[in-house]
Structure 1
Amino acid sequence: MALAPYEWKDKPALIERLFPVQKISAESYKEQMAVHGKTLTALGSYWKGRKPLILNKACILGSLLPATEDPLKDLEIFELLMGMDVETMQKRLEASLPTSKRDSVGDFLVLPYSQQVNTAKRPEELDDRIYTHIWYHVNQHLGTSAKSFPELVEQMGIARFGRRPKVADVFSGSGQIPFEAARLGCDVYASDLNPIACMLTWGAFHIVGANKENRAEMDKNQKILAEKVQQEIDMLGVETDGKGWRTKVFLYCVEVTCPESGWKVPLLPTRIISKGYRVIAELNPIPDEKRYDITVRYVESDAEVEASKDGTIQDGDVVHSPDGMNRYRVSIKTIRGDYKEGKENRNRLRLWEKTDFVPRPDDIFQERLYCIQWMKKKKATRSSYDYEFRSVTDEDLDRDRKVIEYVGTHLKEWQEKGYIPDKVIEAGDKTDEPIRTRGWTHWHHLFNPRQLMVGFLLNKYANTHAKLGLFQVLNNNCRGSRWHNGGGGGGLTAGIFDNQALNTLYNYGCRGSEYCFSFVLQNYKAYAIEQPALVNSHPAQDINTENDLYITDPPYGDAVKYEEITEFFIAWLRKNPPKEFAHWTWDSRRSLAIKGEDEAFRQGMVSAYRNMTQKMPDNGIQVLMFTHQSGAIWADMANIIWASGLQVTAAWYVVTETDSALRQGANVKGTIILILRKRHEELETFRDDLGWEIEEAVKDQVESLIGLDKKVRTQGSEGLYTDADLQMAGYAAALKVLTAYSRIDGKDMVIEAEAPRQKGKKTFVDELIDFAVQTAVQFLVPVGFEKGEWQKLHAVERFYLKMVEMEHQGGNTLDNYQNFSKAFKVHHFDQLMSDSSKANSARLKLSTEFKSAMMSGDAEIAQTPLRALLYALYEISKEVEVEDVLLHLMDNCPNYLPNKTLLSKMADYLAEKREGMKGTKTFKPDVEASCARILSEAIRNQRL
């Protein structure tokens, strides 16, 4: 029997009751680690901060599925749908293993889930046949009759909202959330203020989501485009040597005149051209002309390559020696003529004009071609190439001049027709750099003549689908494209937006046209999407269609200034956009962008979320994702939620960052997911009454999750939650209580939430959030301590002991320490961390690492009972007599007698948590555990 319309209208959603965050984290992390192998990245690798498709799927299904009276069964069905069950995992493992190893799949299935995921294919990489076994179980539990995700989603949507569910994302970015919603079978509305974001979202639906017929047509058109561009360039004769070789990469560098020597010096950060091919650049002085000739040379050994690693630009200085004896070193700042005028940084660079595209002869920074990599198809295969690096010849320079003349002749015409940019670079946080460091004032100045020529031809002939390929070419083929001398094929050029900073370079790679075509002839992944999807460009607060689910990832505290850097691409289309996007505003509209963490951001967010709330049914759900960066984030979010007429019903924490980000020094970041509903009642309370209500809610929430976790473990499965997850659930319970009220202590919370912040002053909302968080944290009392004992401890002691438990559970990622330090109000948690801590393997210091440090002074842990205890453990490890250790402990511990029982408990606790942990040469938790057992026994047996 089919589900009736609105049968689930008032049922809580599964995501409001449970969410297996540990498994979702493992899956999300796996997807993020795929980097360029992710499904939508090929459309635009320059767009960062993509939320994993698997996480989006979990949020969408979790919002549609009902929470029943049988949470274990609910969890089983959810995991079946997510591809997390044993049978689907077996298929995922088999798909990733070579045929010879498929018999060993069973060995993988007994490993921890995260290790299974590391080996297995991602669910989205396999077709839906991996789910054929799930539908009987799903339909039995839900009362549905589905045989596919679109069928199931439609039936669940009818049961909950009376129709196929409408899902919207008004901060669509690269389209990850709308794409996954459409793939599941939802009706989708996607919008973004930024037209480049909207193009990426459109591409997700119409390129990656195209059916077979449309994809075949696209592939044919891509080949025609490449052939047409290649034909025009070949007619000019500027990319071949007449002997069967075609250019792959041109290497250019900046050249300056050294003010001390009068010599022209090519600026090369390194003289290594290719590590794999052992190619270096030699600088040969030409004394009569006071310049250097550059010879490209193949060497015999890696040692010779290594000897060439230093170039002529070192730590911001130009370094050279024309005669091998006299060595000149001059700062680039001096050459550029940097100076201060009031508070402004200025220099002597000439500002380029609209008609410029190469330096003028009297400019400080000149540009020079110093090497060409050539390629020729191998006769045997015709699909692979021979590569060769060569010095630049007079013929090469003639071809370069021919390109300059060609572009110079047509520049004005191309700009007028909108084929290449003529837009001024507006000043900004990121856009100031090319203006200040090079004098570039228009976006076309970031492209050399060859790059402008290729860009013009692609832009002129590309259809709408191919424009996204054009953007990838522009990203990887401009004056900001780094030459990586260790890449495949002898080296490669990287995208200017690898670091989102618009940095100017001293040397760069310019791709030949054929090397550009890999982006035009992109072999995109294919997922045919059947359901309607509408994409539009407008401010988030201008949404005017009703939707059942809003799933959003707003730009909270976003370090990437998309509203600035995407002008790099907008400049190429703004005069002549594809007809499908002609009604969009082709401008970044910086002033309208919701960004940052300031008052304008908060007001913009309130406006957007209030409008979304008004444009959803009474039983609609919002899923708000954000990355934890700021200590004030909970208060900010509470303000936004209150002012928007919403209330929190659940919160979860999922790890989403990748190792690559961690290696670059960033902290581990996870995604906080808030589940929000409309606030239907006008309830009033007082702060005095909130304490017990919050505590009760936190207790119920945490105990229900712990209970479910225990049931799962008794069935032989891995646990669902760590302490960090329970902490987040506690926060959610506290926020759920708070945001249910419209008036607290007689104050209208919407008015309070909208009140502007005053720097350095806590608002009423801030105080409420602090109170709620502390109440939530205090409930998470470790086993072995009484609540009263736990609350007697200093915040830093509670933090240290709590993190010992986290380490015991394997949750030693840096973000856990950061989150808990904020919750416990520990201001300098880094003082307690091992010097060897890394983002994904952080840990506390053991007693042997503290030694006698921080016993007194300003450190938070100084002069606390725990610090005295840790020093006692250190003394035991050094084989100090136990009687002496106890005497020292009595001296060091304030109020020893009243704290004696608590000290013994802390020692027992440390012994239990440190025992059995994996150690290293420098980290010996078993030794700590042994010392703690000895000390605990000694304290208990001590007679005073």
Structure 2
Amino acid sequence: MTATVRKKLIEVSIPLEPINVEAQRRKQKAPKGYPTSIHKYWAQRPIAACRAVLFAQLVDDPSSWPDRFPTEEAQDAERRRLHKVVERMVPWEASNNEVILNEARWEIARSVAWGKGEEPPAKGDGEAILDYLQTKAPPVYDPFSGGGSIPLEAQRLGLRAYGSDLNPVAVLIGKALVEIPPKFAGRPPVNPKARAEAANGAIRAWKGAQGLAEDVRYYGQWMRDEAEKLIGHHYPAATLFDGSEGQTIAWIWARTVRSPDPAAGGAVVPLLSTYLLSQKSAAGQVWLDPVVGDGPDKAYHFEIKSGLPSNDETKRIRAGLKTGRGSNFMCLVSGSAIPESYVKAEGRAGRLGELLVAMVVESKGKRLYLGATEEQMKASEIAQPEWSPMQEMPENPRWFSPPEFGLKTYASLFTNRQLKCLSTFTGLIPTLAKKVEVDCGGDREYAQAVATYLAFAIDRMATYGSSLCKWLVKDNALAPSIPQQAIPMSYDFAEANPFGKSSGAISQCVSVVASCLEHAPYDAPASIFESAAQNGSVADTFVLATDPPYYDNIGYADISEFFYVWLSKSLKEIWPDHLRRLTTPKDNELVATPYRHGGVEAAERYFEAGIKAALSNLLMRSDTVWPVTIFYAFKQTEGNADGVSSRGWSSFLQGIIDGGSQIDGTWPLRTELTSALKNDINSLASSVALVCRKRDLNAPVITRADFIRALKREMPAAIDAIRKAGVGPVDMQQSVIGPGMGVFSRHAKVLEDDDSAMTVKTALALINRVWEEIENELDQAFDAETQVALAWFATYGFDARASGELIMLTTAKNTSDRALFASGVFKDMKGKAGLTPREELPSGWSPAGDKMLTTWECVQHTARVLNAPDGGGEAAAALVAQMGPKAEEARALAYRLFEIATNKGWAAEALVYNELAQEWTKLEDVAATLDAAGQAPGSDQTAFAF
């Protein structure tokens, strides 16, 4: 469709810091009701990032309306106002705040209305705003919807939302999160207890999906009670030291093999990775102490000890029985090595056993550790149930290590008692659905919705209820079966009591699912359907926002089968179109899996062709008024010295460009935890948000030389704008790709000297090279003293060297060592010289009083003050206010120093400059309100905080 293209906010500027802070906060700890908790899926973007990117994708940049914002100053002020809207909108706490959400929705409605030559609804009229968005704004469509984060946040912003995925597990998650809740918004619960309370005069307003969530809790309890009648006897209480009984929370098991050492007399020995059971208590630890008998049968048992272990015991606890990486163990009886190859061979021969070594018991609100008993062992010894998930896992050790040990089917990942438990619960779902249908007066769709959420609760039980679950000794809790994007082998494991009080108990699993449902948005309709992105679309024109697969990082279809085998048993009658197969569909999955496509090169070609086909198909139907946004996971360590990143990143970009897209920008959203920065500044993963538009069909062809000239002409201003937008140095490599690839992708082709088409890999290398040239040219613009300091820092850091080294540098830069000593940039150590460390810089320094002001001093003093106990944001801003033209030079120098420190591996020093550069925009904002003395006229200096 043809339309006037107006720049959107995301094509110019977005406030990265508040988005990153909230994304990392939720990555560290998901609060109650957080949507990703409803069901396990992989690589789900934090909702803060999705919400912010969608908003910036839909809202006009003020430069699009020069009649309303005629000057750069007016446009900058409006951008800052929109940034504040984003800042208020992204925290999880704002997710159900109608005041904040309506503020964001109105901004979107305003852009839509102005584009149509209309005026938006009144700012405070929430219902009118929603009605306008759902009738006048196009829907948002994510063709790789996965865990549903993008459709969910589009819906929360008041827009119609569509999502599709090839994977039926993902489709059902999307339906549960965004499609089902609006259908039953405001409906009271139908369970007998709630109806009786209502009949007795209890009045409550059921908002959103609260009534549905209440029914999920009620019928979840009914399911628990029914299951306990059937299998509760397999989970007996434990006898405590005083003869009383306590509920078992978990049983701790070790897999076993027969010792290969003849000296062990054929003893069956445990494969324990640690003797520790708990180290959460400040008073000490709890551990297993093995006692090996002297008799010919080499009998052994474990005793439970607690307190502060001796030095010998500590060494043994730390070492455990696992040595090194992989499955290398020590024989408990003889102390000889049990190599990995032997363990795998025993497993493939079907000779892996299981030994109960301890129990975790609840008593008077505390968790106690008891030794194994014969009664508890016998309770677990049950036959495999009639039905078990016998589908085989793929032979792909990158994602699945259990098959190497003979555990080839999904059933083999569970003990017989776990299989019996999960089979019992899944078998109750059809009966439960019929019961709900009767209670709600025959509304089958509602009954099926309740059943779907409870099937998700059972899947959560499976996550914490397999023989792959470790016991977390620091947390006294269960770890999930699939900690990341693979199914790893586990040698010792914890078996949860489904009727107890742990993450694997049905009551806890139901509670988590119901809380997610209770917090789901419900103001806009949504539809999630099953389709490959290469073929799928929707009837309407749409805004395209998506989060596609990450090359070969995750085998979604393979790994999600862990859940599919249980969902197909519990929900096949309810969702027959999605659960009709024995396994998940894999043929059209857009993942570069070498074992499926005949090698690495063939997998790369398949991935590029798939991305191209998907984007070509989608761009034909997307609304060209709005740009396309695409998330992609990227690690800084995927780049090399030439700026050429991993095979996956360049293949992904190649597929996008070949699909007809022009890349307008790349925004690195730091959505992962920041702890790795302490050791490696480049170790973090970012979610790169690419901004694209459809390339002009009449785009010209240019040469390699033309491309390089265009890069040199356009990138300096683009880099300056990126810095002003608040992008930190750690993310500059990804950010400069945006304008660079913008030049590359707006042309039909860039021809090499032999007339072949330039590849994305080559373009990335050239972009990085031009960026380095621009940075080096910037060095020459600094004052001579700063140039000397920069050259010294790049070679020696803050180390001292012979004074002759400094004299040689100063001569080349037409300055003198005396000038550098006088300025305080360098220290004169009588025969030696070195840069003055920040902690030794004078505390009373100010730019206004410095007669030899250097850019180097501006950076180092501002960094010192920003992190000083008696300094902080206001004090640093006061320095910036006095710098004048040096302020922009200082910002640029902070980026340059970060690059040098990173290349040298000085992580702590790099962090100083990264923080300073990221905060610089804030410092300038505050500096604008300060007078030359650093005081805010009429201010009590309490308004600013970092």
Instruction: Tell me if TM exceeds 0.5.
Output: yes
CA distance in 2, matches of 1:138, 1:554: 25
Equivalent position to 1:644, from 659, 671, 675: 659
Q: Which residue of 1 aligns with 2:226?
A: 228
CA distance in 1, matches of 2:720, 2:612: 33
CA distance in 2, matches of 1:511, 1:560: 28
Matched, 1:494 2:475: no
Q: Is the 8 A contact 1:652 1:729 kept in 2?
A: yes
**CA offset digits 1:377-399 (Å, max 9, x no partner):** x5xxxxxx354432222322332
**CA offset digits 1:17-64 (Å, max 9, x no partner):** 2222233333333333334657123213x4342212122112211122
Q: Which residue of 2 aligns with 1:443?
A: 410
- 3-state secondary structure, aligned to 1:299: strand
What one-letter code is carried by the residue in structure 1 that aligns with 2:253?
Y
CA distance in 1, matches of 2:525, 2:792: 48
Q: Which residue of 2 aligns with 1:898?
A: none
Task: Please list, as runs of the form range in 1=range in 2, the aligned pairs for 1:290-301 lying within 5 A after superposition.
Answer: 290-301=297-308
Q: Is the 8 A contact 2:101 2:157 kept in 1?
A: no
**CA offset digits 1:820-845 (Å, max 9, x no partner):** xxxxxxxxxxxx7xxxxxxxxxxx97
Q: Which residue of 2 aligns with 1:113?
A: none
CA distance in 2, matches of 1:924, 1:238: 54
Equivalent position to 1:466, from 454, 472, 477: 454
CA distance in 2, matches of 1:440, 1:924: 45
Q: Which residue of 2 aligns with 1:485?
A: 473
Task: Please list, as runs of the form range in 1=range in 2, the aligned pairs for 1:697-776 lying within 5 A after superposition.
Answer: 697-702=714-719, 709=724, 720-722=726-728, 730-745=736-751, 752=757, 763-776=758-771
Matched, 1:26 2:3: no
What one-letter code is carried by the residue in structure 2 that aligns with 1:333?
E
What one-letter code is carried by the residue in structure 2 that aligns with 1:196?
V
Task: Please list, as runs of the form range in 1=range in 2, the aligned pairs for 1:840-879 lying within 5 A after superposition.
Answer: 846-848=797-799, 879=829
Matched, 1:42 2:27: no
- 3-state secondary structure, aligned to 1:672: strand
CA distance in 2, matches of 1:349, 1:651: 48
CA distance in 1, matches of 2:139, 2:96: 26
- Measured after TM superposition, the shift of residue 637 of structure 1 is 4.6
Q: Which residue of 1 aligns with 2:203?
A: none
Equivalent position to 1:513, from 480, 498, 504: 498
**CA offset digits 1:716-746 (Å, max 9, x no partner):** xxx7344566765543233223222224449
Matched, 1:251 2:252: yes
Q: Which residue of 1 aligns with 2:847?
A: none
Greater displacement, 594-603 / 491-500: 594-603
Equivalent position to 2:361, from 367, 374, 378: 374
Q: Which residue of 2 aligns with 1:553?
A: 547
Percent identity over paired residues: 16
Matched, 1:531 2:524: yes
CA distance in 1, matches of 2:469, 2:677: 23
Q: Is the 8 A contact 2:143 2:537 kept in 1?
A: no
- Measured after TM superposition, the shift of residue 682 of structure 1 is 0.9
What one-letter code is carried by the residue in structure 2 that aligns with 1:185?
G
Q: Is the 8 A contact 1:252 1:367 kept in 2?
A: yes
- 3-state secondary structure, aligned to 1:566: helix
CA distance in 1, matches of 2:483, 2:802: 43
- 3-state secondary structure, aligned to 1:496: coil
**CA offset digits 1:612-658 (Å, max 9, x no partner):** 11222343431011122444457545422331112123332222111
Q: Which residue of 2 aligns with 1:610?
A: 616
What one-letter code is carried by the residue in structure 2 that aligns with 1:548?
F
User: 1:664/1:519 Cα in 2 relative to 1: closer, same or farther (>3 Å)?
Assistant: farther
- 3-state secondary structure, aligned to 2:632: strand
- Measured after TM superposition, the shift of residue 511 of structure 1 is 0.6
CA distance in 2, matches of 1:599, 1:63: 31
- Measured after TM superposition, the shift of residue 295 of structure 1 is 4.2
- Measured after TM superposition, the shift of residue 481 of structure 1 is 0.3
**What are structure 2's unaligned runs of at least 5 residues?**
70-74, 183-207, 430-450, 593-602, 835-852, 869-905, 914-946
User: What TM-score, normalized by structure 1, do the two folds share?
Assistant: 0.69
- How many correspondences in the alignment? 740
Q: Is the 8 A contact 1:351 1:440 kept in 2?
A: no
Matched, 1:396 2:390: no
- 3-state secondary structure, aligned to 2:25: helix
CA distance in 1, matches of 2:630, 2:304: 56
User: 1:15/1:803 Cα in 2 relative to 1: closer, same or farther (>3 Å)?
Assistant: farther
**CA offset digits 1:891-918 (Å, max 9, x no partner):** xxxxxxxxxxxxxxxx966555444534
User: 1:779/1:307 Cα in 2 relative to 1: closer, same or farther (>3 Å)?
Assistant: closer
User: 1:735/1:547 Cα in 2 relative to 1: closer, same or farther (>3 Å)?
Assistant: same
CA distance in 2, matches of 1:289, 1:301: 33
**CA offset digits 1:471-497 (Å, max 9, x no partner):** 21111111100012232xxx2221121
User: 1:66/1:588 Cα in 2 relative to 1: closer, same or farther (>3 Å)?
Assistant: same
User: What TM-score, normalized by structure 2, do the two folds share?
Assistant: 0.68
**CA offset digits 1:848-898 (Å, max 9, x no partner):** 18999x99xxxxxx9xx99xx99x99997683537x99xxxxxxxxxxxxx
Q: Which residue of 1 aligns with 2:395?
A: 427
- Measured after TM superposition, the shift of residue 138 of structure 1 is 9.0
User: 1:134/1:238 Cα in 2 relative to 1: closer, same or farther (>3 Å)?
Assistant: closer
- 3-state secondary structure, aligned to 1:466: helix
- Measured after TM superposition, the shift of residue 301 of structure 1 is 3.8
Matched, 1:674 2:690: yes
Q: Which residue of 2 aligns with 1:942?
A: none
User: 1:42/1:58 Cα in 2 relative to 1: closer, same or farther (>3 Å)?
Assistant: same
- Measured after TM superposition, the shift of residue 373 of structure 1 is 2.4
Equivalent position to 1:331, from 330, 338, 355: 338
Q: Is the 8 A contact 2:289 2:305 kept in 1?
A: no
Q: Is the 8 A contact 1:694 1:772 kept in 2?
A: yes
User: 1:701/1:154 Cα in 2 relative to 1: closer, same or farther (>3 Å)?
Assistant: farther
User: 1:482/1:349 Cα in 2 relative to 1: closer, same or farther (>3 Å)?
Assistant: closer
User: 1:446/1:743 Cα in 2 relative to 1: closer, same or farther (>3 Å)?
Assistant: closer
CA distance in 1, matches of 2:22, 2:379: 51
- Measured after TM superposition, the shift of residue 593 of structure 1 is 2.1
- 3-state secondary structure, aligned to 1:554: coil
CA distance in 2, matches of 1:24, 1:387: 39
CA distance in 2, matches of 1:624, 1:748: 33
- Measured after TM superposition, the shift of residue 154 of structure 1 is 5.8
Q: Is the 8 A contact 1:247 1:374 kept in 2?
A: yes
**What are structure 1's unaligned runs of at least 5 residues?**
1-5, 89-116, 339-346, 353-362, 379-384, 415-419, 710-718, 753-762, 805-831, 833-843, 856-861, 886-906, 930-944
Q: Which residue of 2 aligns with 1:756?
A: none
Q: Which residue of 1 aligns with 2:165?
A: 192
Q: Is the 8 A contact 1:625 1:674 kept in 2?
A: yes
CA distance in 1, matches of 2:612, 2:59: 28
Task: Please list, as runs of the form range in 1=range in 2, the aligned pairs for 1:158-307 lying within 5 A after superposition.
Answer: 163-205=136-178, 211-234=209-232, 238=236, 244-258=245-259, 259=261, 260-262=263-265, 263-276=267-280, 278-288=285-295, 290-301=297-308, 303=310, 306=314
Q: Which residue of 2 aligns with 1:653?
A: 668
Task: Please list, as runs of the form range in 1=range in 2, the aligned pairs for 1:134-153 lying within 5 A after superposition.
Answer: 143-145=119-121, 146-147=123-124, 152=129
Q: Is the 8 A contact 1:151 1:185 kept in 2?
A: no
User: 1:348/1:57 Cα in 2 relative to 1: closer, same or farther (>3 Å)?
Assistant: closer
Q: Say what the alpha-carbon RMSD is for the aligned residues.
A: 4.6
What one-letter code is carried by the residue in structure 1 that aligns with 2:321?
T
CA distance in 2, matches of 1:775, 1:592: 39
Equivalent position to 1:314, from 317, 323, 327: 323
Task: Please list, as runs of the form range in 1=range in 2, the aligned pairs for 1:852-931 lying within 5 A after superposition.
Answer: 879=829, 881=831, 910=856, 912-918=858-864
Greater displacement, 661-670 / 539-548: 661-670
User: 1:783/1:776 Cα in 2 relative to 1: closer, same or farther (>3 Å)?
Assistant: closer
Equivalent position to 1:81, from 80, 85, 100: 85
**CA offset digits 1:223-251 (Å, max 9, x no partner):** 21122212222356745669653321111
